[in-house]
Amino acid sequence: MNLSRLCVHTITTKPLSIEDAAKLYSRENIAGITVWRDALEGRDIRATGDMIRAEGLEIVSLCRGGFFPQLTAGARKDAIDDNLKAIEEAAALGAPMIVLVCGAAPGQFLETSREQIREGIAAIEPYAKAAGIKLAIEPLHPMYADTRSAINTLAQANDLAEALHSPWVGVAVDVYHLWWDPTLEQEIKRCGSNLFAFHICDWRVPTRDILLDRGLMGEGCIPIAEIRGWVQETGFNGFDEVEIFSTEYWSGDQALFLQKIKQAYLNL
Amino acid sequence: MNLSRLCVHTITTKPLSIEDAAKLYSRENIAGITVWRDALEGRDIRATGDMIRAEGLEIVSLCRGGFFPQLTAGARKDAIDDNLKAIEEAAALGAPMIVLVCGAAPGQFLETSREQIREGIAAIEPYAKAAGIKLAIEPLHPMYADTRSAINTLAQANDLAEALHSPWVGVAVDVYHLWWDPTLEQEIKRCGSNLFAFHICDWRVPTRDILLDRGLMGEGCIPIAEIRGWVQETGFNGFDEVEIFSTEYWSGDQALFLQKIKQAYLNL
C-alpha cells in the first residue's frame, strides 16, 4: 500500500478553500483530488484546473451532477441544464468524470423517479460523450431514498448503466452506501469495465447523524479492504477516493485530519 | 377502511404502562396490540395477558426476539436462551407470534452474522413449534446493519424463511425498513403464506434521527397504501400494526397521539 492511488474529495476537507486544499494535498503527497462544485464557486474554472495540476495533483472527478427527478417538466429540464453545465465545468477543469447523485422527489413514487433518472442520463450522455467526460452513477444508501437518490443498490446502478449502453456511462462504488448489501460482491464483479470510481470512508457505530457522521477508514464496521479486493478483481486501477462528510472532522485542524486520512489509508 | 385490523405496538405509546395502554386502546376501539417485552417488566405475564383480553384486545405478537449474532459462543448461547425465554413469555401472555430483530455484531463480517442468525433461528424453532408460537423474521433497514440486523432486505428474509422450511417461521414486512427496495413488490408476492406480520408508519422528510424519528402514516414519503395492497394480494388478512418510535410523539399527550394514529390509518 502506498499513496499513489489515494485521492481526497474537497468536501472531505470542507473548511479549506480549493487553493488551500490543493496546496495541502500536494504537500502531503496525495496523488488525486476530486473537486466538488461548491469549491469552484467564484473561481475561473480553467485556471483552477491549471493551479491543481501545477500542484502535481491529478483531477479524478467532478462532484456532482444528477438530481434528475423533479415534480414538474420545467424543473426536470432545469436539472438537465444544470448537468450540461456540470459537463462544461468538468471539461474546463480538466476532470475526466462526473459523479451522478441521481436524486429523488419525495412527492412521487420511486419508480417514477427512477424512470426520470434514466431519461435524464440518456439526455445528457451525448453531451458527455462529445466533451469526453465519463458519467458515474453512484447508488446511494437506502436511507437517502427520500430526497437524494432513488438508485439505492449497485444492482440498480448496473441495470441502468447496462441499459444506457454507452462507454461514457458507468457506476461509482462507495463502501458507505453499499457495504450492507448481501449481493455486493456479485454486483461488483458484474460491473466489469463499467466500474468507474471507488469511494471509501467508514460507518461509525453508532452513527450520530444521518448525513454528516461518516468515519475515517478503520473507525467503523465496513470491511473496506475486502470490498477493495473485489473492486480490484474487476481490473479497476483507478483511485481510492476518500469522501468523508463529518461535522466532527470539519471542526478540527484539516492538516491533522489529512495526516489521519493518510495513516488510515496506509493501514487498510 | 375501518379499525377492525388496526393494531398498535406498545412501544408506539412508550410513556404509557401496559395497563394504561390497554385501557386507552380499548376505549379507542383499537382491535389489536403488539406487546414489547419491556412493557412486561415486573408484571405477572399470564395475568397481564388476561388483563389485555379483558379489555377486548387481541394480542398480535410479542416484540422482540432475535439478536443472535455475537462475537463469542457463550454470548450466542445466551442469545438463544433469551429467545427461549421470549417463547415462554409469548406462551404465557397468549401471543401467537414473536417478531425477530435478528441482530448484527459490528466486530465480524455480515456474512458471519447472517450464518449465526440462521443457526439461532434453527435452534429455537423446535421450541417455538412445541409452544405453538410463530417466528417472524423482520428485515431491518440497511441503516441498522451495524448493530441491529444483518437481514436488510425482504429477499434475504424470504431466503432464510424458505431455507428453514417450517410453518412456524415466516417474515414480517415493515414499510419503514423496506419501502425503498426496487424488488419489494416481487418479494412480497414471493412471501405467500410466509407473510406473518405487516408493520406501518412513515418516513419523515427530513429524518432527524436515525432511530427515533418515525412518522405517522401520511406524514412522510412511503406509499403505504400501495404496499398494503401488495401485502393483501398475498392473502394476508392479519393486522396492520402501527409501530412508531418517535421522541417527538412520545413527548406529547398519548391519548391525542392515538387519535391521530386512528385518523391517519382511516385516511390510508
Residue spans per domain, chain A: 6-266
Closest-CA residue in chain A for B178? A142
A176 to chain B, minimum CA–CA distance in Å? 10
Interface contact B176, partner A, CB < 8 A:
no
C-alpha cell at A151: 438508485
Cα–Cα distance, A161 to A153 (Å, whole number): 13
Mutate to test the interface with B, among A117, A118, A143 (most CBs of B within 10 A): A143
A159 to chain B, minimum CA–CA distance in Å? 12
Interface contact A225, partner B, CB < 8 A:
no
Closest-CA residue in chain B for A106? B221
Q: What is the pLDDT of residue B139?
A: 98
Closest-CA residue in chain A for B154? A182
B217 to chain A, minimum CA–CA distance in Å? 14
Architecture of the domain whose range is B6-266 = Alpha-Beta Barrel (3.20)
pTM over the 0.90 mark: yes
| B145:A179 CB<8 A | yes
Q: pLDDT grade, residue B1 (50/70/90)?
A: confident
Write the residue in A110, A220, A223 that is nearest to B180 by C-beta.
A110
B contacts of A213 (beta carbons < 8 Å):
none
Interface of B with A in 97-126 (CB under 8 A): 106-107, 109-111, 114
C-alpha cell at A118: 434514466
B contacts of A207 (beta carbons < 8 Å):
143, 146, 210
A158 to chain B, minimum CA–CA distance in Å? 13
Q: What is the mean pLDDT of chain B?
A: 98
Query: Nearest-CA neighbor of B49 among B64, B27, B33, B63?
Result: B33
Interface contact B71, partner A, CB < 8 A:
no
A20 to chain B, minimum CA–CA distance in Å? 33
| A223:B182 CB<8 A | no
A201 to chain B, minimum CA–CA distance in Å? 15
Mutate to test the interface with B, among A71, A221, A227 (most CBs of B within 10 A): A221
A62 in Cβ contact with A99 (< 8 Å) = yes
A contacts of B110 (beta carbons < 8 Å):
179-180, 182
Write the residue in B147, B208, B220 that is nearest to A205 by C-beta.
B147
Write the residue in A106, A143, A226 that is nearest to B143 by C-beta.
A143
**Eight-class DSSP state of B10:** G
Query: Nearest-CA neighbor of B151 among A241, A182, A82?
Result: A182
Cα–Cα distance, A170 to A190 (Å, whole number): 12
Write the ipTM: 0.96
Write the residue in A143, A203, A210 that is nearest to B146 by C-beta.
A203
Write the residue in B106, B152, B153 that is nearest to A221 by C-beta.
B106
C-alpha cell at A117: 433518472
Contacts of B243 (CB under 8 A, 6+ apart): B9, B11, B12, B34, B174, B176, B199, B200, B201, B214
| A180:B110 CB<8 A | yes
- The per-residue pLDDT string of chain A (268 residues; one tens digit each, 9 = 90 and over) reads 799 999 999 999 999 999 999 999 999 999 999 999 999 999 999 999 999 999 999 999 999 999 999 999 999 999 999 999 999 999 999 999 999 999 999 999 999 999 999 999 999 999 999 999 999 999 999 999 999 999 999 999 999 999 999 999 999 999 999 999 999 999 999 999 999 999 999 999 999 999 999 999 999 999 999 999 999 999 999 999 999 999 999 999 999 999 999 999 999 9
Number of Cβ pairs < 8 A linking chain A and chain B = 78
Cα–Cα distance, B153 to B164 (Å, whole number): 17
Across residues B57-65, what is the average pLDDT?
Answer: 98
Task: Give alpha helix (H) positions in B55-109.
Answer: 73-93
**Residue B86 pLDDT > 80:** yes
**Residue B73 pLDDT > 80:** yes
| A180:B221 CB<8 A | no
Instruction: Measure CA of the first residue to CA of the last residue in chain A; give whole Å.
Output: 8
| A221:B114 CB<8 A | no
C-alpha cell at A47: 485556471
C-alpha cell at A196: 468507474
A172 in Cβ contact with A197 (< 8 Å) = yes
Task: Give alpha helix (H) positions in A56-179.
Answer: 73-93, 110-131, 154-164, 175-178
